[in-house]
């Protein structure tokens, strides 16, 4: 099938100082990933087209983009699910550096602010594993799936307008530890998230949940953190 | 502009091996981690099924059994001292990961959950054993996340999106690396007392692969270009169950939970190839069986794939026929919901990429290029060695898939790669830090970036008009056809000739992007050069080995030949020639036997 692609371009170094769009007609298979089309264009038509990618099957989190107006991983959406008109743009709310490549540093800074590591120095005397019931393990299973692709955070209207807001992905990370029965620093994380820029900036738009390629119930996780603070 | 940095230990790569090395090295000395990807993008994150350790949480298991299974799985090419060390460290290192916070799945009693995996057995009953410690079917993701989190906690220095292009060696001693910063295009020299390579594998040289785009063999190519050998490159694992045509991995855990392989006659054909463990035979055995089924016309609809069937009715039918029991002695039965909870990501992949619900329909699969058993030769201390005598390159360490210790020999068992990265990543980090404490910074050469500039300038200044994608596709197809699951002298010779031609054409490669910032066009071209070097060295190493062993299956030499070939290959790349030497296999207590499953 013939696909008409409209792709965002921005590269000040090469004189493309204002965002604009290039268009391409590509002969595609319905089962092609959008990433396959981008690779085709880069390989065959224009090597300057720039985007991040690695695993190509939705696990590494490199290639979050706005595809037909919604945040997705380019490697996890197929042509047949989009039709013959496909628009590809960078995710919103982070500075664009070149084409689909955005500055991820603010995103990872918010992640790091969550104390994103288990706090618990007590280990069993026999050196074996700490015990955790399947129910306690299940309590935070959903938020362990996060791949830090930023699809949720950059779909959030609050994040777009307020760069102090840590965003959904950081809260998902905090949730993963707050609700882990082994962790001892939930109070510290809840304190961080009760501050300005924390969890109460969320206005429950649900964009994050819709955007998550790992199908994490992001909005619910945020609600659970809010509830834990109250 | 060239920028200079100094760190006592520099680690290249931020997957499981690099991060584990970083955690340990940073406890003692100033350490930096350089990675061409953000650390959480590393390929470790795609590992699914589990990490092998004889915890015995559900049924009896022993470190000795794990050791023997690994030796047997390696087709007696693994170094037994290294395998003993790895398997003995498996139990404590899994507990260590749990202590770091890794969210393992749990049994009803709260202990770490374990599942069956190919080639892992109770050595007394010969039946599959519950040894793979797992976190659903995202064990690698959880290892990568947990180690990255620990590195943040311990304030490890990261240089994210710094692509290392060269290793600096002076008077035989490693003293740094050269990297390009993706965001600026600037070259950076990292002056170090010790360097750890943890750069991962090179599965992208084959057409159908489970490997990430990043898996371009940078580490092996860089060391080859610096005159160091590569070991056992002819041994490359094809995982039996990749999604048809796309190569995306479907974990062996699916078969561990009871899934079976089925041909177009509806036959569970593994019964004929591995009567005892059937679908849970070692990966090389299963991949060959699929190829032979397809060759005999038993592919589904006459095509080059078979089905992996994990529908509950199929799982339960064969569990009953096999008399499979739960650890408490009751009959093993699974519901769709239970299977879904054990392998949720697989269900998601099948739905996304195949449009198939694997609880209701079987999945079309074919073998996919998956794992490099070979790589940069090291000893059991992760020290890089430079010859058949085992001479150490001072200051240089390697760990993980890029390294060849060799714990996997001719064929790796599932779950042993995650084990390898944490055990030998830790060893590399500790050893590098110890070495650095007692070492001085060895002065750099006058112009340390000269070799990198020469490589990049040649690509940027070429007007030859060869597009890298053409060379890349031709290489991948040729390697798939002639240096794949089955091999012949004729095929491999034609592959060598083809790769030599492609390396000539590579001299005329030109790129569209001549900018500095995020120039992935240029770096993809550089990576293709790495892949061509590794492909040529692989083809020549493979053609020379006139036997069949593990993943190296020759139609013209179908038998294993211990008297002549129970030895490791060392290969040096000199221009377009590959020079070979051999080194003995370390044998402790397991004499080679015929390998049947």
Local confidence pLDDT in tens for the 597 residues of chain B = 899 999 999 999 999 999 999 999 999 999 999 999 999 999 999 999 999 999 999 999 999 999 999 999 999 999 999 999 999 999 999 999 999 999 999 999 999 999 999 999 999 999 999 999 999 999 999 999 999 999 999 999 999 999 999 999 999 999 999 999 999 999 999 999 999 999 999 999 999 999 999 999 999 999 999 999 999 999 999 999 999 999 999 999 999 999 999 999 999 999 999 999 999 999 999 999 999 999 999 999 999 999 999 999 999 999 999 999 998 999 999 999 999 999 999 999 999 999 999 999 999 999 999 999 999 999 999 999 999 999 999 999 999 999 999 999 999 999 999 999 999 999 999 999 999 999 999 999 999 999 999 999 999 999 888 999 999 999 999 999 999 999 999 999 999 999 999 999 999 999 999 999 999 999 999 999 999 999 999 999 999 999 999 999 999 999 999 999 999 999 999 999 999 999 999 999 999 999 999
B5-22 pLDDT, tens digit per residue, is: 999 999 999 999 999 999
Q: Which helix (H) or strand (E) holds B340?
A: helix B336-342
Of B111, B467, B518, the CB nearest to A101: B518
Residues 6+ apart with CB under 8 A from B4: B188, B189, B191
Cβ contacts of A43 on chain B, cutoff 8 Å: 467-469
Beta strands in B475-595 (DSSP E): 486-487, 553-554, 567-574, 577-584
Touching check for B517 and chain A: CB below 8 Å?
Answer: yes
CA pseudo-torsion sign B508, B509, B513, B515: negative
Q: Which helix (H) or strand (E) holds B471?
A: helix B468-482
Touching check for B112 and chain A: CB below 8 Å?
Answer: yes
pLDDT of residue A163: 84
pLDDT of residue B180: 98
Alpha carbon of residue B380 to chain centroid: 18
User: Of B115, B116, B255, B283, which one is the catalytic site residue?
Assistant: B283
Closest CA of chain B from A161, distance in Å: 26
Cβ contacts of A118 on chain B, cutoff 8 Å: 100-101, 146, 149
Of A117, A127, A180, the CB nearest to B103: A180
Of A54, A57, A141, the CB nearest to B37: A54
For A206, which DSSP code?
-
Touching check for B590 and chain A: CB below 8 Å?
Answer: no
Query: Both tokens of residue B221?
Result: 């190519």
Touching check for B152 and chain A: CB below 8 Å?
Answer: yes
Beta strands in B482-530 (DSSP E): 486-487
Query: Both tokens of residue A67?
Result: 């595809």
pTM, full prediction: 0.97
A27-78 pLDDT, tens digit per residue, is: 999 999 999 999 999 999 999 999 999 999 999 999 999 999 999 999 999 9
Examine the residue annotation and report whether B283 is marked as an active-site residue of this protein.
yes
CA distance B210 to B378: 25
Number of neighbouring beta carbons within 10 Å of residue A230: 7
End-to-end alpha carbon distance in chain B: 58
pLDDT of residue A78: 97
CA distance A105 to A149: 12
What is the gyration radius of the CA atoms in chain A, in angstroms?
20
Alpha carbon of residue B252 to chain centroid: 15
Cβ contacts of A54 on chain B, cutoff 8 Å: 37, 41, 43, 212-214
Tokens 């550096």 map to which residue? A97
Cβ contacts of A151 on chain B, cutoff 8 Å: none
Touching check for B98 and chain A: CB below 8 Å?
Answer: yes
Residues 6+ apart with CB under 8 A from B79: B380, B405, B406, B407, B409, B585, B586
CA distance B376 to B372: 11
Instruction: Report the SS3 class of residue A158.
Output: helix
Whether B71 and B416 have beta carbons less than 8 Å apart is answered as no
Pairing outcome for strands B306-309 and B2-12: unpaired
B421-458 pLDDT, tens digit per residue, is: 999 999 999 999 999 999 999 999 999 999 999 999 99
Report the mean per-residue pLDDT for chain A. 97
């Amino acid at each position: 099938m013939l696909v008409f692609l409209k792709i965002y371009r921005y590269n000040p170094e090469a004189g493309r100082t204002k965002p604009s769009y290039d268009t391409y007609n590509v002969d595609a298979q319905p089962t092609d990933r959008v990433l396959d089309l981008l690779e085709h264009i880069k390989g065959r038509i224009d090597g300057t087209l720039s985007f991040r990618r690695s695993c190509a099957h939705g696990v590494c989190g490199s290639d979050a983009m706005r595809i037909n107006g919604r945040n997705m991983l380019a490697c996890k959406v197929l042509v047949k699910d989009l039709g013959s008109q496909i628009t590809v743009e960078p995710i919103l709310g982070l500075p664009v550096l070149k084409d689909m490549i955005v500055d991820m540093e603010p995103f990872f800074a918010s992640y790091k602010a969550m104390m994103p590591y288990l706090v618990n120095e007590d280990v069993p005397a026999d050196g074996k594993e700490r015990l955790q019931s399947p129910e306690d393990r299940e309590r935070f299973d959903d938020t362990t799936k996060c791949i830090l692709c930023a699809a949720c955070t950059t779909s959030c209207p609050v994040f777009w307008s307020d760069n102090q807001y840590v965003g959904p992905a950081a809260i998902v990370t905090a949730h993963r530890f707050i609700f882990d029965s082994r962790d001892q620093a939930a109070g510290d994380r809840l304190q961080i998230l009760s501050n300005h820029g924390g969890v109460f900036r969320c206005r429950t738009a649900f964009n994050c949940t819709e955007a998550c390629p790992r199908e994490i119930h992001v909005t619910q996780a945020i609600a659970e953190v809010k509830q834990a603070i109250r | 502009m060239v920028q200079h940095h100094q760190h006592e230990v520099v680690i290249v790569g931020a997957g499981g091996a690099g991060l584990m090395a970083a955690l340990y090295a940073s406890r003692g000395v100033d350490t930096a981690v350089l990675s061409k990807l953000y650390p959480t993008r590393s390929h470790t994150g795609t590992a699914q099924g589990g990490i092998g350790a004889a915890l015995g949480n559900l049924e009896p298991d022993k470190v000795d059994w794990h050791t023997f299974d690994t030796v047997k799985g390696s087709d007696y090419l693994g170094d037994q001292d290294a395998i003993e060390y790895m398997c003995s460290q498996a139990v404590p290192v899994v507990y260590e990961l749990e202590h770091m916070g890794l969210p393992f799945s749990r049994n009803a009693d709260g202990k770490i959950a374990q599942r069956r995996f190919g080639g892992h057995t109770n050595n007394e009953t010969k039946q599959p054993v519950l040894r793979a410690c797992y976190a659903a079917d995202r064990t690698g993701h959880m290892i990568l996340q947990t180690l990255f989190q620990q590195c943040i906690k311990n304030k490890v220095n990261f240089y994210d999106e710094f692509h290392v292009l060269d290793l600096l060696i002076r008077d035989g001693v490693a003293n740094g690396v050269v990297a390009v910063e993706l965001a600026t295009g600037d070259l950076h020299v990292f002056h170090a007392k010790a360097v750890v390579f943890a750069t991962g594998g090179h599965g992208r040289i084959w057409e159908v692969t489970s490997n990430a785009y990043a898996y371009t063999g940078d580490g092996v190519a860089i060391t080859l270009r610096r005159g160091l050998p590569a070991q056992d490159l002819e041994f490359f694992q094809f995982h039996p169950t990749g999604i048809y045509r796309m190569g995306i991995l479907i974990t062996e855990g699916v078969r561990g939970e009871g899934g079976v392989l089925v041909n177009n006659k509806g036959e569970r054909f593994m019964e004929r190839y591995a009567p005892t463990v059937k679908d849970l035979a070692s990966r090389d055995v299963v991949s060959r069986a699929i190829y032979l089924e397809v060759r005999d016309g038993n592919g589904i609809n006459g095509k080059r794939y078979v089905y992996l069937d994990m529908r509950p009715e199929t799982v339960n039918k064969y569990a009953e026929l096999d008399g499979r029991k739960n650890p408490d002695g009751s009959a093993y039965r699974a519901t769709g919901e239970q299977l879904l909870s054990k392998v949720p990501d697989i269900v998601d992949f099948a739905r996304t990429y195949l449009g198939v619900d694997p609880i209701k329909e079987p999945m079309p699969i074919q073998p996919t290029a998956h794992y490099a058993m070979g790589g940069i030769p090291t000893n059991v201390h992760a020290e890089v060695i430079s010859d058949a005598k085992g001479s150490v390159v001072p200051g240089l360490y390697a760990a993980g898939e890029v390294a060849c210790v060799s714990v996997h020999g001719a064929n790796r068992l599932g779950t042993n790669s995650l084990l390898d990265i944490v055990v030998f990543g830790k060893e590399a980090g500790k050893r590098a830090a110890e070495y650095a404490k007692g070492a001085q910074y060895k002065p750099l050469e006058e112009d340390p970036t000269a070799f990198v500039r020469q490589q990049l300038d040649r690509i940027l200044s070429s007007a030859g008009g060869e597009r890298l994608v053409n060379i890349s596709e031709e290489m991948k197809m040729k390697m798939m056809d002639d240096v794949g699951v089955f091999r012949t002298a004729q095929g491999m010779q034609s592959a060598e000739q083809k790769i030599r031609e492609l390396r000539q054409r590579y001299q005329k490669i030109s790129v569209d992007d001549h900018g500095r910032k995020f120039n992935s066009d240029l770096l993809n071209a550089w990576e293709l050069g790495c892949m061509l070097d590794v492909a040529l060295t692989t083809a020549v190493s493979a053609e020379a080995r006139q036997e069949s062993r593990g993943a190296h299956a020759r139609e013209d030499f179908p038998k294993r030949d211990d008297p002549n070939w129970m030895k490791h290959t060392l290969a040096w790349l000199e221009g377009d020639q590959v020079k070979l030497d051999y080194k003995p296999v370390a044998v402790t207590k397991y004499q080679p036997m015929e390998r049947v499953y």
